Amino acid sequence: MMAVRELPPDATSDLDANDADATESQRAIRVMRPRRAAPADAVRPTRAEVNLGALRHNVAVVRERAQGAKVWAVLKADGYGHGAPAVARTLERAKVDGFCVALLEEAIELRDAGIAAPILVMGGYYGRAYDEVLRRNLTPVLYDPSHLEGFARMVRSGSFPGPVSVHVKIDTGMARLGVRPKDLPAFADALADTPEIRVEGLMTHLANADAETADDNDAQVARFDEATAYLAKRGVRAKLRHAANSAALLKQSALLDAVRPGIAVFGICPSIHDRADLQMAMRVRTEVVDVRTIDPGDPVGYGGLYRASRPTRIATVSMGYADGLPRALSNRGAMLVRGKRAPIVGAVSMDMTMLDVTEIPDVGLRDEVVVLGGQEGTSGKDFIGAEEMARNADQIPWEVLTQISRRVPRFYREP
């Protein structure tokens, strides 16, 4: 069996990939996972707060929209930046039916955190670690005959009992991964020649689920149905079919046997055409670390991208683009101070950002500043959502959440 070891970020393997004396079975596959800043180690005031109650609420909304379909929550990209292990523990207790990840490394992280629920590895790249997939009781998604051979070889060697349960991905219009309809006959032939593999599920990926109409969804589902019928004629009958992501699910389109909500679990509606009662689970906050008054004409920040037109109070906060605040928000975005919007002025720096707080009375050192989420204070009450931040930065909400870096510690709280 080939071992998968997790090493600290600065560690090196005792088996070099170019070591001529190391056989393939002796080599170690290194799972290099950057370490997230821990709350106990936090010194500066910048942090992301994850509301576990909001996650449970969103799962309840998703389950209602799913109309009885199984709910497999998507936790790729470190749980959309929220911290996959902690989120998975909460959702497992909320009785989701399983989890989906993109990478084998992400699945290993969940298993190492004690998650026992089914985990579907959707990315389709397993390197030489087929044995790790089986040893950790993960469900692989296959779309290439080489995948079949890789897993079958583990069974034939006697290392693992067969058959291996898998899901097969069908490309119905994404042109990214999946068996293309024209290649189905050859793939079905390969399945027939590989009794060590049992197809438990069929899946596809919707390319335009957030469109105003469901026409594209319907066309892809029709192609998926045709592929399903063809495979059934060839003796491949899956118990579980799934296609719907968050956007399709909230529209109650392409529900099938299971749904794969991702961003909806974290409180973001992926389509402006559907306003489900979701609660944003992440709130990012920091504090004022400096306040000063500058004169008319004085520049602010790198390149002097902002110059004061009047006596201006500038508050510096301890968050920058290395923390995940888009640099594109320079002179465009805002943060909340004492419940009121304070415009970002000048260039967003790597570690700090400057705000114009001239119109907000009594701003001082250590005042809370909300980068993402809501705040109520002496000057009002307001909310900055991921959709707004994405719009101002020419991004999408998925980027806003997933780019909050690992040097920002996550704090988990109940409401």
Which residues are catalytically annotated?
76, 302
Q: Taking Cα atoms as reference points, which of 312, 320, 315 lies closest to residue 338?
A: 315
Q: In the block, which residue shows the tokens 């906060």? A: 317
DSSP conformation letters of 34-74: PPPPPGGG--SS-EEEEEHHHHHHHHHHHHHHHTT-EEEEE
Q: How many CB atoms lie within 10 A of CB 318?
A: 17
Residues sharing a CB contact under 8 Å with residue 253, sequence separation 6 or more, in sequence order: 209, 214, 217, 218, 244
Number of Cβ within a 10 Å radius of residue 14: 10
Cis, bond preceding 409 (omega within 30 deg of 0): no
Number of H helices, E strands in the chain: 11, 21
> Cα(339)–Cα(374) distance, rounded to whole angstroms?
8
Query: Rounded to whole angstroms, how far apart are CA atoms 300 and 228?
Result: 60
Q: DSSP secondary structure string, 17-28?
A: TT-TT--TTTPP
Q: How many CA atoms lie within 13 A of 317 on its CB side?
A: 34
Compute the distance between CA of residue 142 and CA of residue 202 in angstroms, rounded to an integer: 10
Phi, psi angles (nearest 5°) of residue 233: -65, -25
Radius of gyration of the chain (CA): 24
